Amino acid sequence: MTAPLQTDPQRVGEVLYLALRDRILSGELKPGAKLSVPALAEEFGVSRSPVRDAVIRLVQEDLVTETMNRGAEVARITREELVSLYEAREVLEGAVARLATEKYQASLRRTLLALLTEHREVAAQQDFGRHIELDAAFHRAIRQAAQSPVLARMLDGVQGRVLVAMRSTSLTGGMVQAVHEHQAIFEAIGSGDADAAEEAARAHIRRLKELLRAAD
């Protein structure tokens, strides 16, 4: 779902980490699902050690929660925490939009333009699954252009947990409006106005946050 970002996984533990992470983000493992280390070890045909390593990493990432002597399960993210995640996402997306504006290159313009064009059609056709993908791709393109590994990693983490939370709390934020807001972000970045780009990105996330707040 999200980019690997890790070094090539020659370690079994790393492969398992990526595999389990993907299962969680894709919804194959839903919030509350138990992660049995022996069962996973047998399924993947490895010993318990690398499985344990992978689980620890997921716990440290807050995608999985652990209780003493009671094993691990996919994190159950509350509505309250989801809002808190969006508070973080608002400022982080604002920051990468600013940086992308300052480091603006023509390739970013082409990428965003292509995404927007397709997104407009998809929104008109009410293709929700493709909308999710294009929305993620749009934001990913901007945070890659920002060239800030620190911010990119944080946003990856936030995005992952948001995806998990959305498994419990489905919420459609209005595809057409999302496209309009993306258009505004695109124009602000293209105009070179970093302040405007930051504010446009923040406003976009802020609206989604308020939607979450309202839907209780």
Residues that bind a second copy (CB under 8 A): 7, 10-11, 52-53, 56-57, 60-62, 68, 81, 84-85, 87-88, 90-92, 94-95, 99, 148-151, 153-154, 158
Tell the smallest beta-carbon distance from residue 13 to DNA (Å): 4
> If contact means CB under 5 to 8 A according to the sort of partner, which of DNA, a second copy, none does residue 163 touch?
none
Binding mask 139-178 toward DNA (x if CB under 7 A, else -) reads ----------------------------------------
Among 4, 38, 174, 192, binds DNA (CB under 7 A): 38
Tell the smallest beta-carbon distance from residue 63 to DNA (Å): 16
Nearer to a second copy, 63 or 108 (CB): 63
Nearer to a second copy, 85 or 122 (CB): 85
Q: Which amino acid is at 50?
A: P
Nearest one of 25, 131, 112, 136 to 77, comparing CA atoms = 25
Among 70, 106, 170, 216, binds DNA (CB under 7 A): 70
194, 102 contact by CB (below 8 A): yes
Q: 25: which residues sit within 8 A by CB, 6+ positions away?
A: 1, 2, 160, 163, 164
State both tokens at 72: 């691990």
115, 199 contact by CB (below 8 A): no
Nearest one of 148, 136, 128, 100 to 25, comparing CA atoms = 136
- 68 phi, psi to nearest 5 deg: -50, 120
Tell the smallest beta-carbon distance from residue 184 to a second copy (Å): 20
Tell the smallest beta-carbon distance from residue 40 to DNA (Å): 9
From the list 29-37, 90-98, 147-155, 195-203, the region that binds DNA by CB under 7 A is: 29-37
- 72 phi, psi to nearest 5 deg: -120, 150
The helix (run of H) or strand (run of E) holding residue 65 is strand 64-67
Nearer to DNA, 13 or 94 (CB): 13
Helix-then-strand count for the chain, H and E? 9, 3
Please report, as ranges, the residues that interact with DNA according to CB under 7 A.
11-13, 35-39, 41, 46-50, 53, 66, 68-72
